[in-house]
Amino acid sequence: MFRLLLILIIFNVASSFILAQNAREEFGKNKIQYNDDQQDWWIYETSNIIYYWYGKSRKVAEFYVSIGENENKKIREIFEFHLRDKIELVIYSDLSDLYQTNLDLDVYLTPNNWKEEPKIVDQKMLIYFDGNHQNALKLIRKGLIRIYFNSIFSGSQIEEVVQKVISYKLPVWFESGLIEYLSESWTEEDINNLSFYWKKSGKNNFNRIQRNNSLLAGKSMWNYIVKQYGQQAISNWLYMIRIQKDLNSAARLVFQRNLRSLYDEWSEYYEREVNQFNISELKSQKLKLKLEENIIEAEYRDELEGFLLSTNQNGRKRIRFFNPQKKINKVIFKSGHRNKITIPESGYPLVFFIPGIQQYYIVDLVRNRNKIFVYDKDFRFKSSNIFPEDIQEIYDIEGVDEKKIYFTGNTNGLSDLFAYDLISRSYTRITDDIFDDQKFKRLRSDSIIMNTARGNIDIPVKVLDSIVPIFPFELYSIKDKNIQKSDDLQKIGSIEDFAIRGDEKLLQALNNSKRQYLYQRKSVLYDVSEPYLQKLAFGNENQIIKFYKKPNQKYYFNIVDDNQYKDKYITNEFIDQQQSNHIDSIQSKLNVSKGYFESSFGDPVNVDAVLQEFIKKSTSYQLSDLKFTEQKYQHTNSAVIFNPNQAIAYRNRFSMDDWSTTLNNDLLFGGLNTFTGNNPIYDVPHTGILFKTKVIENFNNYTIDFGVRIPTDFRGSEAFAVFHNNKFRWDHSFGIYRKSIRKIIPVRLSSEFQQVDKTFLLNHQMRYALDHYRSIRLNSTIRNDYIFLKATERSLLDTNGTHFQSIGSRVEYVFDDALNLSVNLRQGTQSKFFFEFSKRFIGNFSNGINIKQLPGFLFIAGMDIRHHIPIMKLSTFSNRFYLNSSFGTQRLLNHLGGTENWMLFRKFNYESPPDLASNYSYSQQVTEVRGHPISSRKGSSAMVISSEIRIPFFQYILSQNWKNSFIRNMQFIPFLDIGLSWQGALPDFNKIEKYSFYAENPAVKVNIIYNRNPFIAGTGIGLRTSLFGYFIRFDYGWPIQELKLRTPISHISIGFDF
């Protein structure tokens, strides 16, 4: 308590010296609505879950209602934890619609979790449908697991505050590994991937593996814990961590050993497991792809004499022409933008051909619309066409003739097979039911082979009642809308993908969480599975191409002759044996490792009965209940039947959020201070106590921000209110702001005046999002400034003060795809280009509306570009280029030097007062040039370049998850800043070194011209860390003059770096 009071006293004493952060540019990702589908929502409520859906997502909502309560009960009993509030499921018809939400997802994005699904905001789960109900089941399970996990470690609001003070951060592997293990279980593919890292690394300890692949390491650790200590160990360890706030202490209590011992046991266990898997070296060639570029589909085309590969690189979609014999691998189509903000649509782009036409067609999803792009045989673009808006997603497509195509897709929340007329742009349904239709192939007999999940139900079921449409995918033959099973392949599992060439098939099947790759010739099956195999495709004549993806994300390929698999055929007896050998891993471990009591008196007579008390099920649900989503879904209790009469229309629901009281000195509205000439240095706002809250609508379509800030010296106040309307494509915000500040103006050696600045401002901003990371913004402001001197002396009694009224607009183009790696560490690019104008006028409303324009305009143009590059795994190399140029009859006074939010040891440069003849209207502090005092250079235009390396050095020595945030977030910063200021729009290097100053009074006129280097530069080192919720920056900078280091200056400031 004493330490906390001491810190508060220090901050209050120092607050009178704290500067505001100026020239600050706002960036941020965008929320975008491409259509009006999500204007009307509905609510459905059950015992523990609230469901939200809109028109297109109703069928998806009916499915989630039927399984939601059942899945929630499983997860609740496995965690042995009850939530205080109901879970909210926000249901979207597809992934593209989900990313049109206004719910704030960006704050949770990091390079480690941006691909995590589903997205969770508090207890809201955002889920969608991708045409496969098996994936939908996995999605809701992962979301429920994450909600329960988060609730265990957050608790009530009081507990959240306590946890923030303790500031404990769980390792990445802990949460991600647990969620993945509970939802996907431990598979043969996982042990193959672990073997890859095991043999690649010299020392095979847990920390080394988790640095390479934290998700796999975490999954393997939880698998080991459950097998060694049982399912109960999961909830026990989580509770102990919640109480102890320390992973190691909790491990001692639960496992009677510390983390290091647990890691050693893990290593010994998997040493034995890995040695059982003798993975031979792949006889393959490396396939050159971009980093993180994944193959979606591969198809050989005789007319092209090569393969067409569909790939997706985090949203950057490509079609590649690949000829391995001629070593050709070139991109013939690309679209989208590589980013780590939105999860890429996994099925796009698609390629299809029309028989007899020498051109190819590419289907891509562009801004929530499916489009066809037509290219000739030489890969030249010809034309494009767009599908009807109600076709939400396309999963597979094939051409019939120049008028007709077939495709499987989603139009109403369910996946079906369609026939589409290219001329009239109309479609007819071939299948119309609740069952999933995915991949298909059209045969020459005009019949269609399709993998569909129907569960041997021959009649079309259009209503989701007691039937949950989760069945294994099987091959069916469709002709003239007659559907019948094609082959009896049920025993091999759920068929995920397939290819056909004559009487040959390539099959990718999932059976009991084990993925198999099979080659079928006539009725004989051959097992062609190999470690790391990801995709099979037919090649030329009797060739088969295999694509491998190793855990290091690198691709390889191998072309083989299909005759080499003659000795690898499998029989039904072999398949039956594989299925019977599969025993639940947890129960199997309990059965074979009962153990005995370590006692000199021997084991009790009833040892088996005693041990059975320990290994019996503690809950009615076990981890095995969460496995095998590819099998027929079984309700453990009665299914919830959707009742449309219980659905109600959604009405806006508002709640209070983000109630906070902080020491704050950021500029609340804009970065321009009115310039009067009374004070030769920059008027620095003082720190105040900011009381702030927010009222938000349930979907964040509407928000209202309120705030009041009182300076710690009580010389004024600030207040603001902002209303945001984000429901439509154009986002609007309306703001009102009032400020009243008293300043001390020295006039004589023993005298000073008190100047009062009052500002009233109305603001409107429009934002048009081009996509999630690019936007155009228009900001309009009406402002009234009233500046006067308080009548502290007789001579000031007759002074009236001055009114400054202005109207202005600012246009911005903003790009932002940056992600937070850790505190003050980013990856990606942020850029802004802006143009602003301001016009002053005199308004008098006492006798009607009387507005008089004042002569002159102020124009400002500039840019702010920031780029952050990850280096040395945990550090970043961060760069910033800032340019600001004002022109017109009025000017903006830029102050260079110092650092943003300078708190202690601040210094000002009084040597170069501003030239009053330049007709300055406003002033601002330009971004930092460390090693120099504030106002070291002044001018109507400025440019600054900053570079620094941010090194969290303790994370290399200790861990990213060190309990103490002061140690964990400490960073070492070497930096270099260079600044330039000049008068006018563009620098004239013949005149830029001459500084002109003019001033006059009734007694004398002063006009001085002298030489001065317009450049200033500084270099040095700094430290950063977190302290009591604030981020503290210390910089020790040497000014560079004439290529020599001069007397250094210390800077202590608060807030994050650029």
Identify the residue whose tokens are 């692949």: 213
Model confidence band, residue 799 (pLDDT cutoffs 50, 70, 90): low
CATH number of the CATH domain containing 147: 3.40.30
pLDDT of residue 302: 85
Collapsing DSSP to helix, strand or coil, 120 comes out as: strand
Q: Domain check: are 181 and 256 in the same one?
A: yes
Q: What is the DSSP string of 151-196?
A: HHHH-SHHHHHHHHHHT----HHHHHHHHHHHHH---HHHHHHHHH
Q: What are the tokens at 73?
A: 């009960």
- Is the residue at 10 inside a domain? no
Model confidence band, residue 156 (pLDDT cutoffs 50, 70, 90): very low
Which residues make Cβ contacts (< 8 Å) with residue 350, sequence separation at least 6? 297, 310, 362, 363, 364, 394, 396, 397
> What 3 state SS string does 795-843 have?
HHCCCCCEEEEEEEEEEEEEEECCEEEECCEEEEEEEEEEEEEEEEEEE
> Cα separation of 515 and 496, whole Å?
9
Which residues make Cβ contacts (< 8 Å) with residue 167, sequence separation at least 6? 963, 964, 965, 1026
Please answer whether residues 87 and 145 qualify as being in contact, where contact means their C-beta atoms are separated by less than 8 angstroms. Answer: no
Q: What are the tokens at 855?
A: 């002569």
Q: Is the pLDDT of residue 42 over 90?
A: yes
The pLDDT > 70 percentage for the chain reads 83
Query: What does each C-alpha distance from 45 to 188, 413, 447, 646, 649 come to in angstroms?
Result: 40, 20, 44, 8, 12
Q: How many CB atoms lie within 10 A of CB 497?
A: 17
Q: Domain check: are 500 and 530 in the same one?
A: yes
The pLDDT > 90 percentage for the chain reads 34
> Cα separation of 364 and 344, whole Å?
12
- Is the residue at 569 inside a domain? yes
| Tens-place pLDDT, residues 11-31 | 333 333 333 334 567 888 888
Question: Would strands 920-925 and 891-896 be described as parallel, antiparallel, or unpaired?
Answer: parallel
Query: What does each C-alpha distance from 35 to 52, 367, 768, 856 come to in angstroms?
Result: 18, 10, 14, 43
| Tens-place pLDDT, residues 81-105 | 888 889 999 999 999 998 888 887 7
Please answer whether residues 213 and 190 qualify as being in contact, where contact means their C-beta atoms are separated by less than 8 angstroms. Answer: no
| Tens-place pLDDT, residues 490-523 | 567 889 999 998 888 999 998 877 888 999 888 7
pLDDT of residue 21: 33
- Which of 383-392, 445-454, 839-848, 899-908 is the most confident on average? 383-392
Nearest-CA neighbor of 935 among 683, 664, 749? 683
Q: Domain check: are 829 and 863 in the same one?
A: yes
Q: What is the DSSP string of 15-52?
A: GGGPPPP-S----------SSSGGGSEEEEE-SSEEEE
pLDDT of residue 674: 63
- Among 17-26, 329-338, 661-670, which stretch is predicted with the lowest mean pLDDT? 17-26
Q: Domain check: are 657 and 722 in the same one?
A: yes
Identify the residue whose tokens are 């990801």: 534
pLDDT of residue 876: 95
Which residue, of 580, 605, 631, is where some domain finishes?
580
pLDDT of residue 960: 60
| 379 DSSP assignment | S
- Is the residue at 607 inside a domain? no
Which residue, of 279, 300, 324, is where some domain finishes?
279
pLDDT of residue 917: 65
- Is the residue at 933 inside a domain? yes
What are φ and ψ of residue 260, in 5° steps?
Answer: -60, -45
Model confidence band, residue 743 (pLDDT cutoffs 50, 70, 90): confident
pLDDT of residue 595: 38
Q: How many CB atoms lie within 10 A of CB 160?
A: 11
Which residues make Cβ contacts (< 8 Å) with residue 863, sequence separation at least 6? 831, 832, 833, 834, 881, 882, 883
Model confidence band, residue 945 (pLDDT cutoffs 50, 70, 90): very high
| Tens-place pLDDT, residues 435-479 | 999 999 988 777 899 999 888 777 778 777 777 888 889 899 888
Instruction: Report the amino acid identity of residue 61.
Output: A
Which residues make Cβ contacts (< 8 Å) with residue 831, sequence separation at least 6? 814, 815, 816, 863, 864, 865, 866
> Cα separation of 964 and 956, whole Å?
15
Which residue, of 783, 816, 849, is where some domain finishes?
816
Q: Domain check: are 186 and 246 in the same one?
A: yes
Please answer whether residues 854 and 842 qualify as being in contact, where contact means their C-beta atoms are separated by less than 8 angstroms. Answer: yes
Nearest-CA neighbor of 61 among 650, 621, 513, 458? 650
> Cα separation of 610 and 568, whole Å?
47
Q: Is the pLDDT of residue 837 over 70?
A: yes
Burial class (CB in 10 A: 0-12, 13-18, 19+), 742: middle
> Cα separation of 347 and 297, whole Å?
8
> Cα separation of 392 and 227, whole Å?
43
Q: Domain check: are 80 and 117 in the same one?
A: yes
- State the average pLDDT for the chain: 82
Burial class (CB in 10 A: 0-12, 13-18, 19+), 1002: exposed
What are φ and ψ of residue 173, in 5° steps?
Answer: -65, -25
Burial class (CB in 10 A: 0-12, 13-18, 19+), 617: exposed
| Tens-place pLDDT, residues 677-731 | 555 566 666 778 889 999 999 999 999 999 999 888 888 899 999 999 998 889 9
Q: Domain check: are 963 and 1041 in the same one?
A: yes
Which residues are registered as beta bridge partners of 1039? 1018
Beta strand residue intervals within 423-491, DSSP E: 426-429, 436-442, 448-453, 474-479, 482-485
Please answer whether residues 416 and 453 qualify as being in contact, where contact means their C-beta atoms are separated by less than 8 angstroms. Answer: no
Model confidence band, residue 159 (pLDDT cutoffs 50, 70, 90): very low
Which residues are registered as beta bridge partners of 898? 929
> Cα separation of 123 and 803, whole Å?
50
| Tens-place pLDDT, residues 983-1032 | 888 887 777 767 666 667 777 777 777 777 888 999 999 999 988 878 89
My answer on whether omega of the bond before 1014 falls inside 30° of 0, hence cis, is no
Q: Domain check: are 112 and 92 in the same one?
A: yes
| Tens-place pLDDT, residues 755-786 | 888 889 999 999 999 888 899 999 999 988 88
pLDDT of residue 166: 43
| Tens-place pLDDT, residues 801-811 | 777 788 889 99
Q: Domain check: are 202 and 145 in the same one?
A: no
- Among 397-406, 789-798, 891-900, which stretch is predicted with the lowest mean pLDDT? 789-798
Which residues make Cβ contacts (< 8 Å) with residue 1051, sequence separation at least 6? 898, 899, 902, 905, 906, 930, 1022, 1033, 1034, 1035, 1036, 1037
Q: What are the tokens at 763?
A: 């603001």
Instruction: Report the amino acid identity of residue 825.
Output: L
Q: What are the tokens at 750?
A: 């023993």
Q: Domain check: are 1052 and 1005 in the same one?
A: yes
- Is the residue at 525 inside a domain? yes
Mean pLDDT of the 277-294 span: 83
Model confidence band, residue 349 (pLDDT cutoffs 50, 70, 90): very high
Number of domains in the chain: 5
Identify the residue whose tokens are 């691909």: 115
> Cα separation of 515 and 707, whole Å?
56
Q: Is the pLDDT of residue 1039 over 50?
A: yes
pLDDT of residue 860: 92
> Cα separation of 499 and 475, whole Å?
11
> Cα separation of 31 and 727, whole Å?
9
- Is the residue at 436 inside a domain? no
Q: How far is CA 442 from the centre of its chain?
A: 39
Which residues are registered as beta bridge partners of 413? none
pLDDT of residue 601: 53
Which residues make Cβ contacts (< 8 Å) with residue 158, sequence separation at least 6? none
Q: Domain check: are 998 and 945 in the same one?
A: yes
Q: Domain check: are 767 and 885 in the same one?
A: no
Tell me which residue range forms the domain holding 558. 487-580
Q: Is the pLDDT of residue 282 over 60?
A: yes
- Is the residue at 29 inside a domain? no
- Is the residue at 594 inside a domain? no
Model confidence band, residue 617 (pLDDT cutoffs 50, 70, 90): very low
> Cα separation of 45 and 86, whole Å?
9
Query: What does each C-alpha distance from 353 to 386, 402, 545, 924 come to in angstroms?
Result: 17, 10, 21, 60
Q: How many CB atoms lie within 10 A of CB 671?
A: 19
Model confidence band, residue 591 (pLDDT cutoffs 50, 70, 90): very low
> Cα separation of 853 and 889, whole Å?
14
Angle at alpha carbon of residue 731, lines to 727 and 734, rounded to 5°: 110
Model confidence band, residue 310 (pLDDT cutoffs 50, 70, 90): very high
Q: What are the tokens at 809?
A: 């607009």
Query: What does each C-alpha distance from 517 to 438, 494, 550, 832 come to in angstroms?
Result: 18, 12, 16, 50
